[in-house]
Structure formats: C-alpha cells, structure tokens
Amino acid sequence: MDLIAGLLQTSILAGGVLALAALGEVLAERVGVVNLGVEGLMALGAITGIATVVAVPSPTLGFLLALLVGLLFGMIFATATVHVRANQILCGLALTLIGTGLAATIGKAYSGMPAPATFAPIAIPILSDIPLVGRALFTQNILVYLIYIVLPFALHHLMFRTRHGLDLRAVGENPAAADAAGIPVQKIRFWYVSAGAALAAGSGAYLTLAFVPSWSEGVVAGRGWIAVSLVIFAGYRPLNAVLAALLFGLITSLGFVGQARNWPIAAPFLSMLPYLGTIALIIVPVLAWHKVRRLMAAPAALGEPYYRDVR
Amino acid sequence: MIDLRNLSRRGFLNMGAAAGASLLLPKSGLVTPARAQTPLAAVAEEDAVIAFGHTGPVTDEGWTWSHDQGMKAVQAAFPKLKTLFVESIPYSADATRTFRQFISEGANMVFATSNYGDFLYDVAKRSPDVAFFECDGRSPLDNLGTYYVAHWYPSYVTGVAAGLMSKSGKLGYVASFPVPSVYSGTNAFLMGARSVNPNATLQTIVINSWFDPQAATQAGTALIDNGADLLFGIMDEAGYLQVAEQRGAKAVMWNTDIRRYGPKAYVSSIIVDFKEFYVNQVRQRLEGKWVPSGNILPMTGGVDRDAWGESVPEEVRKQADAARDKILGGWSPFAGEIKDAKGAVRVAAGQTMTEEELYNWDWSIEGVSGL
C-alpha cells in the first residue's frame, strides 16, 4: 500500500512542473500563438527562484519574482509575435536559446547550491489522515494545491464559462471575426501570451523551490518541450493538461519504483519510460481522439499572425 | 578505463573495450610507475604555468570544488606560479581543444580532474615536455600519470555505522552508472554493514547521471518508500540527503561536508582531498624530479570519512572508528570468502583483494541488488 501512496506522492510532485508549464502554454495557444520558448522561460524562472531565496529566504517572493521575469520575457516575445508579427516558431526557439543561455550564465554562481528556503509541505488536517491516498494528496506544498486545484479550475471556468473566455477562444479560432465583433484581438493575444510565459517561468521556480531544491545547468532537462506536447495531447484544455501532466509524472516515477522493487525489467528500459511516454502522447491523440477531433482540435488560427488590413 | 564522476556515452561504450584491454594487460601501470625514465626538466616558479581541466563547475560543492581547493593549495604553496583552469569541459573534441589551449598558453603541467581518455592523450603525445595527470585514468604515457582515491575503505567504515543505525537492515543506494566506482562503493558499504548486521541488504537505483537532482530526489524517495531507512550514493549534490531529512531516514554522502542540507539525516560523507597530492606533484615538476606515476590516494591521504553527523550515537562512532583504525593498521576487510550476487565464490577464503582488483571491481557481492 505504501507503494501506491509513494508513487502518487512523487507523481504529483514531478507532474507539477509539467502541469504549470502546460497551463501557460494552453493560455498562449488558445489565443492563437505557439510559444516554443517554454524551455527557456522555465530555465529563467528556475534561476530567478534560486537567486531570490539565496538573497531573501522567502520562497513565495522567489516564485512571484519568477512570474514577473516570465511576464517580462513573455511581453518581449508577444511584442515580436503579436505586434511585429514575426514568425512564432523562430521567435519561440530564440526565446528558448536566450532563456537557457542567460540562465546558465547567471546560474554559474548558484550552481549546485541547494536552496536555503523552499516550499514546505502543508498537511491538511483530517484529509491528510485518509489511508492510502491521504498523505500523497493532502500533504503537499502550497504550489501543488495551486497548480492542481486552483489554477486549472479557475482557467477552465474563465475559458468555458465566461463571456471573456468566449472572446479569447474566438481570437484563437477566427481573429478576423473576433475583430469584426469588436474584440480587441491584439490586446488579448498580447496579454494572454505574456501571462502564459509567466506561468512557464513559474514552473521553473516550482522546480527549484519545491521539487529539486537546487539549480544546475540543464535542470529543466527538456521538460519545457514535454509540456508543449502535453498541450496537444490534452486538447488545449486546462483540466486535461493537468491530468496529462499527472499521468506523465506517474510514468516517470514508475521507472524509479520499478528499480527499487527489483522488477524484472532492465534499468535502461525503466529509464526510457518518460521518452516512450512522450512518443505515446504524440500518437494517442491522432488515434484515440479521432472521434472527438473537433473537440480536441487546435485553435483554427494557431500560429497565424493577424493582419487587420489583409483579412 | 572508467571515469568516476562523469561518464560520457562514448566513455561508457568504450568501457567494454577497455575492460577487455585490461584483461590482456593485467598490470596496466595502475599502481606502479608508468615507465622508468628521466624526469622532465626543472621549471622556475615564476615561469611555471599549471592548468586544471574540470568536468563540472568549481561551485558544485562536490567533486570539482574539491579539485579547485587543491588548485588553491598549489597557489598558496607556490605564489609566483600561474594557474589556469577551465570548468565543465564536455567529453568531446572540445576537450582536446581546451587542453591544446592550455599548452599554447604555456602550461608546464596539466591536471585533468576526470577521465578524458583519448581527448587528453592526443594532446599529451604532442607535448612530450609537459607533465599530464588524468584522474581515474588507466592508460599511462611517458608524460602522463594517473591518480584516484581508495574510497572503498571509508565506504566500508561508514557501512559499519550504517549497519548499526539501520533499523530495517535495508539500505538504499543512488547509483550513477554500473561502473567500478559504484560497484566498489556498494560492495564495500554493504560489507561494512554486514560485519555488524549479517542480514543487511542493499538496493540500488541507477539514474544514469552523476548530477541530476530531479532523478536523485525521485530515486531516494522510491528507495525509502520501499523500506530503506539509510541511503548512500555517489552524487555531486544533496538531493537524496534532503529526501532523507524530510522522511526521517539517514544518509551517507560523497565529496564534501554538506550536512547543513540535512543535519538530522547526515551520517557522514566520503570526503576527498587532493591538496597534498597536487602540491607534491607540482613541487616535483618545478624541481625537475617529476616522472609519471600511478597513484591511489589512501585513506587519510586524500580520502576519508567526514566527522560524524549529530545523530550518530557514541557507540556507533566507536565501533565504526575501530574498523577504521584496523584498516589504517594494515587490515583489509576485502578478504575471502566473498560471494557475488549469484552466490558464486569470487574471492576464496584466505585470499585478499588487491588494490587493483578493488579499483576495477565490476561485480556485485551477495545482498546487493539492482546493479
């Protein structure tokens, strides 16, 4: 029974990184902008988080500053892609290169240095005593509750239950029509892309302030890319994105638990699981979502800059 | 053959080939000097340039940091000479370029603090008047020596403490790769534990990295979930120590004193210290006495256990230190009969493993699983 509890505990912790980054990417892609800079933004957030707690031992401040740094870089990216209408793929790759490079340079001084302050687990009374799943679900740090409960439900409500959500989805589906209906296309794109970037950087801070409390070059280790693929798998929906991230965390944890329990599977195969999982995540939507492809489809105007004068 | 701290994929693949080669040449100059020859000419201190090529950042508080302390000791001992160093050298042609750069900047002596193999040998062969050293190297040249630490002795000593402190008798090990450093570490640790608790077992998880805090954290968690209450490993960071601290388990670490990241969990650490070795070698180089040599720094002469952690009881300290004193007095714990994980006798009763066998250990003893 400890097996399940332990597995769940690490899956939730490991999946949180992906969930937050994926939520950010959902925001950007829903308004029609592909942000491939997630990997770089996560690196920036990770180093901002560590650098902050080294100076001031407050993980909350570290997380907030990481969001702010993400927002700033997101605004630069949004200016380039939304206002200047530069190629989104190229801008995203550039952002990844800038982000990882800059973070590595700043990070030199913090390399291998464990965070002096981190988000400590908070046990929710009564609930955390539930046998089996209590400890895993209700003895986590505050960011986990934010990422798994508050944010996805808030975003889901915003996107699918409010007038504003309808507007923002319209911007991603058909910006020309949205524009004709009086929706400020450029403004909505700009701010949602920036906010998405802030969440991506926040997931980097989650990585260094809650999950592995230290910075090292390459600490993000490709999770930004995995987050991008999760968004496609999740059909651009916040709740699905979080569940997909949790599934992915579970796959990663299985590799370690398998080794600890001496499952008769070679260690290299267990280490392969996350990568096999990524491939599966790319293939499954094509096959399994076939019937519901209209529901799970990408926003129609995804990746297309909007020019009012050529509509 | 195999590098302790950083192993490139290429190096990993070469492992098999190198293992084969070392079978053909059983005395590959590991402990004995490479070749008898005339020393390199003396160098005036103010003209000397000593270069260090590192595998990680000097701020890692681990392996590379320890080597950097050695460089600082050299600077203090010979204030007039010039030192150079480059961090995080990849295991690629960039390494060759970096070592060439050292030579073109006038280096008289180059220390590679990890196993760069052919990337280093190419440069060494072209610069016969420069002294080279390769850490954990196994292919000495006329101007290239090797050095490493006998970490299996402090691993045994901390293993004794682990055997006494573990309540479940289940020990966990966060391993990097299935390489000799890991085999000798796990085996020595469990042999120490079994000397006081014959039922102790050791479970390993291989994470395929020397430095991956995310993986080490998850591996440590999985080991504790599986019943282990004392962790050991060979990592350059404090990941599994922090897990042990949170979960009320204990941990033995590597490289440096990092008890502040888990003061209650910290048992001890395999501490490495290259200061004396570097200063001696540089002195020989300056005085014109340097010839390449193979060195395994002994316990107290480059490697040791760290001061015991606050949670280690007095009785445990005494018993573990008694084993340490016995080893320092010349006793070897690595004597037969030793069985491997399949139950076959690998070291017969009455036999003792040589330093070279310990250095090249590539099988698990009975009780170690997962490698």
Inter-chain CB proximity A111 and B223 less than 8 Å: no
Chain B contact present for A11, CB below 8 A: no
Which tens digit of pLDDT belongs to each residue from B167-202? 999 999 999 888 889 999 999 999 999 999 999 999
- Specify the pLDDT at position B15: 45
Residue of chain A whose alpha carbon sits nearest to that of B206: A267
Per-residue pLDDT, averaged over B333-342, amounts to 92
Residues of chain A positioned with their CB less than 8 A from the CB of B218: 10, 14, 252-253, 256
Pairing of strands B303-305, B170-175: unpaired
Residues of chain B positioned with their CB less than 8 A from the CB of A261: 226
Nearest Cα residue to A80 out of A193, A171, A235, A181: A193
Residue of chain B whose alpha carbon sits nearest to that of A261: B226
Question: Nearest-5° angle of CA B328, CA B331, CA B335?
Answer: 140
Q: From the CA of A261, how many Å to the nearest CA of chain B?
A: 7
Q: What is the mean pLDDT of chain B?
A: 88
Exposure string (b/e) for B272-299, b if CB count within 10 Å is 16 or more? bbbbebbbebbebbbeeebbbbbbbbeb
The number of distinct structural domains making up chain A is 1
Q: From the CA of B13, how many Å to the nearest CA of chain A?
A: 14
Inter-chain CB proximity B214 and A212 less than 8 Å: yes
Residues of chain B positioned with their CB less than 8 A from the CB of A10: 218, 221-222
Q: From the CA of B121, how many Å to the nearest CA of chain A?
A: 28
Fill in the DSSP letter of residue B331.
-
- Specify the pLDDT at position B7: 46
The yes-or-no verdict on residue B2 having pLDDT over 70 is no
Instruction: Please identify among residues 47-106 of chain A the ones whose CB lies closer than 8 Å to any CB of chain B.
Output: none
Q: From the CA of A255, how many Å to the nearest CA of chain B?
A: 9
Inter-chain CB proximity A259 and B219 less than 8 Å: yes
What number does CATH give the domain B152-271+304-369? Answer: 3.40.50.2300
Mutate to test the interface with A, among B168, B217, B241 (most CBs of A within 10 A): B217
Least confident of A260-264, A287-291, B216-220: A287-291
Pairing of strands B266-272, A139-141: unpaired
Tell me chain B's radius of gyration from C-alpha atoms.
Answer: 20
Inter-chain CB proximity B223 and A216 less than 8 Å: no
Give the number of beta-carbon pairs within 8 Å between A and B. Answer: 104
The yes-or-no verdict on residue B11 having pLDDT over 70 is no
CA–CA dist A293, A296 (Å, integer): 5
- Specify the pLDDT at position A214: 80
- Specify the pLDDT at position B33: 46
Mutate to test the interface with A, among B225, B237, B243 (most CBs of A within 10 A): B225
- Specify the pLDDT at position A212: 81
Element (H, E) at B354: none
pLDDT tier for residue A118 given thresholds of 50, 70 and 90:
confident
Which tens digit of pLDDT belongs to each residue from B127-161? 999 999 999 888 888 999 999 999 999 999 999 99
The yes-or-no verdict on residue B331 having pLDDT over 60 is yes
Inter-chain CB proximity A219 and B214 less than 8 Å: yes
For residues A282 and A254, the model is more confident at A254
Nearest Cα residue to A36 out of A172, A182, A197, A163: A197
Least confident of A131-145, B221-235, B297-311: A131-145
Inter-chain CB proximity A262 and B219 less than 8 Å: no
- Specify the pLDDT at position A113: 73
Q: What is the mean pLDDT of chain A?
A: 90
- Specify the pLDDT at position B23: 39
Mutate to test the interface with A, among B66, B179, B217, B218 (most CBs of A within 10 A): B218
The minimal CB distance from B222 to the residues A6, A108, A213 is found for A6
- Domain that includes residue A126, residue range: 2-310
- Quote the percentage of chain A above a pLDDT of 90: 59
Per-residue pLDDT, averaged over B6-32, amounts to 43
Residues of chain A positioned with their CB less than 8 A from the CB of B225: 2-3, 5-7, 9, 257, 260
Residues of chain B positioned with their CB less than 8 A from the CB of A224: none
Chain B contact present for A6, CB below 8 A: yes
Chain B contact present for A216, CB below 8 A: yes
Q: Return the CATH number at A104.
A: 1.10.3470
CA–CA dist A28, A196 (Å, integer): 6
The yes-or-no verdict on residue B24 having pLDDT over 60 is no
ipTM of the complex: 0.72
Which tens digit of pLDDT belongs to each residue from A14-41? 899 999 999 999 999 999 999 999 999 9
Per-residue pLDDT, averaged over A96-125, amounts to 86
Residues of chain B positioned with their CB less than 8 A from the CB of A213: 213, 242
The minimal CB distance from A259 to the residues B60, B88, B206 is found for B206
- Specify the pLDDT at position B27: 39
Which residues have a Cβ under 8 Å from the Cβ of B126 and sit 6 or more positions away?
A: B103
For residues A292 and B218, the model is more confident at B218
Residue of chain B whose alpha carbon sits nearest to that of A264: B370
Q: What is the DSSP string of A113-157?
A: -B-SS-PPEEEPTTGGGSTTTHHHHHEEEHHHHIIIIIHHHHHHH
Q: Tell me the β-bridge partners of A266.
A: none
- Specify the pLDDT at position A131: 74
Two tokens, residue B205: 């998880």
Stated pTM of the model = 0.79
User: Hey, how many other C-beta atoms are within 10 angstroms of the C-beta on B311?
Assistant: 13
Which tens digit of pLDDT belongs to each residue from B106-135? 999 999 998 898 999 999 999 999 999 999
Which tens digit of pLDDT belongs to each residue from A219-249? 888 889 999 999 988 989 999 999 999 998 8
Residues of chain A positioned with their CB less than 8 A from the CB of B221: 6, 9-10, 256
| CATH 3.40.50.2300 location in chain B | 9-150+274-297, 152-271+304-369
Inter-chain CB proximity A217 and B88 less than 8 Å: yes
Amino acid, single-letter form, for residue B191: M
Residues A186 and A306 sit within 8 Å (Cβ to Cβ): yes
Residue of chain A whose alpha carbon sits nearest to that of B58: A111
- Specify the pLDDT at position A311: 55
The minimal CB distance from B217 to the residues A108, A212, A257 is found for A212
Q: From the CA of B193, how many Å to the nearest CA of chain A?
A: 19
Fill in the DSSP letter of residue B312.
S
Inter-chain CB proximity A211 and B214 less than 8 Å: yes
Which tens digit of pLDDT belongs to each residue from A59-98? 999 999 999 999 999 999 999 999 999 999 999 999 999 9
Residue owning tokens 């606050």: B310
- Specify the pLDDT at position B190: 97
Answer CATH for B9-150+274-297 from 3.30.300.30, 3.20.20.140, 3.30.1360.10, 3.40.50.2300: 3.40.50.2300
Instruction: Establish whether the linkage from the previous residue to B337 is cis, with ω within 30° of 0.
Output: yes
Inter-chain CB proximity B217 and A5 less than 8 Å: no
pLDDT tier for residue B10 given thresholds of 50, 70 and 90:
very low
Chain B contact present for A264, CB below 8 A: no
- Specify the pLDDT at position A112: 67
Least confident of A170-184, A285-299, B346-360: A285-299
The yes-or-no verdict on residue B35 having pLDDT over 70 is no
- Quote the percentage of chain A above a pLDDT of 70: 98
Residues of chain A positioned with their CB less than 8 A from the CB of B215: 256
Inter-chain CB proximity A9 and B223 less than 8 Å: no
